[in-house]
Amino acid sequence: MTTPSDLLTHAQALSGQLIDWRRNIHMHPELSFQEQRTAKLVVDELTKMGMEVQSGVGKTGVVGLLGEGRPVVAIRADMDALPIDEQNDVPYRSQTPGVMHACGHDAHTAILLGVARLLSTMPDRPAGQVRLLFQPSEENTDEENKSGAVRMIEDGALEGVDAVIALHVASDLPSKRIMIADGYASANEDSFEVWLRGTGGHGAYPHQAVDPTFILAQVLNAIHGIRARRIDPAKAAVISIGAIHAGTATNVIPSEVYLSGTMRSFEDAVRQQLRDELARVLEITRVFGGDFELKLRPGYPSLYNDPDVARLVRISVRDLVGAQALLEPEPMMGAEDFSYMTRKAPGAMLMLGAKKDDLDRPHHTPIFDIDESAMPLGVAILADVACRLLRQKSELSAA
């Protein structure tokens, strides 16, 4: 029987291929829903492995089918890059000006190809189907505000799936260390835009105007008071203003002030409360004789790691590399559209430590990069957890 140690050995033997795949993708990054070249690379590689392949899923996504019947375990990797001009001086630097894999999706895609290679050659792979989901557009949404995960779900990629797993490389965690949380692992995200409207006027005669900049001062206090005075202090919530624009001259009171920001939470009830409270505090504008317009753009829901799936990940890590590789979990207020998939089937996302060097290389920055030697461990974990889930689901259905 293939052991976790065997899987890790085989994954480490793929190290050179994983790096080649990752660097190929890194050098040719593609923005959300434009991942044509990356999708073709994935299709070509899966086809070489003798796998049934579906392309054009969720616009530019790819699904690889390994095995058949039930249970069905899905593994997801995202493929899109970001509109960032890379500053790293490396041989595999982006060749597309203004576009860069600054969040590790190139590594995610390479790792899932490695999982496909490992499982397709595994002589005693458990019964059932492994569904490999190469997803477009995690970083952005389309004209209907739908991300790649939503589009793939709409195209049936998760139909019949019993469990779904994924990983995300983390450039700030020690290489080859693993972090996984039970329960909430990332946040609900909503963005908003607000226009505060007055009448404007001459700066020398403020009494003849309805000054939206004065109204802004009251609104800002009220917005920041939502977290402090309206939300249960035991509940996680964030509301932040990211942009304020007003006026064009020193002696002119503007007629309008624009502001925008973001709201984060874990629980859906808190998410709705943040929305309601924001709309309510903006009524202050009318008390001072002005008016407002609010546009709310719903973002990704919170990611909930199923505790049983997360437990299997921790067991796998202990068996592969020992308990010392596990880091204490820390829920994050960032957003991740894998959450749509975990609302369709029990699932979990693990964080794969991949800090490259002593330099701070945050995600979504021009100097982001990872330690590529961490990728084989990611391959082994995903492959091993998929096998454990197949066995577990088969035993449950037979019971």
As annotated, the active-site residues are: 300, 372
Cα–Cα distance for residue pair 117/74, rounded to 1 Å: 15
Cis (ω within 30 of 0) for the bond into 233? no
Tokens of 82: 């970001």
What's 82's DSSP letter?
Answer: B
Radius of gyration of the chain (CA): 24
Helix pair 375-398, 15-27: axis angle to 10 deg = 110
Concatenating the DSSP letter of every residue in 140-201 gives ---TTS--HHHHHHHTTTTTT-SEEEEEEEETTSPTT-EE--SEEEE-EEEEEEEEEE---E
Tokens of 347: 């699932």
3 state SS of 245: strand
3 state SS of 252: strand
Sign, Cα dihedral of 267, 150, 366, 178: positive
Rounded to the nearest angstrom, the gap between the alpha carbon of residue 144 and the centroid of all alpha carbons in its chain is 19
Q: Which of 103, 78, 98, 172 is nearest to 365 (CA)?
A: 103
Residue 135 near residue 78 (C-beta atoms within 8 A): yes
Cα–Cα distance for residue pair 338/347, rounded to 1 Å: 9
Distances (CA, A) of 337 to 137, 223, 303, 363: 9, 27, 8, 16
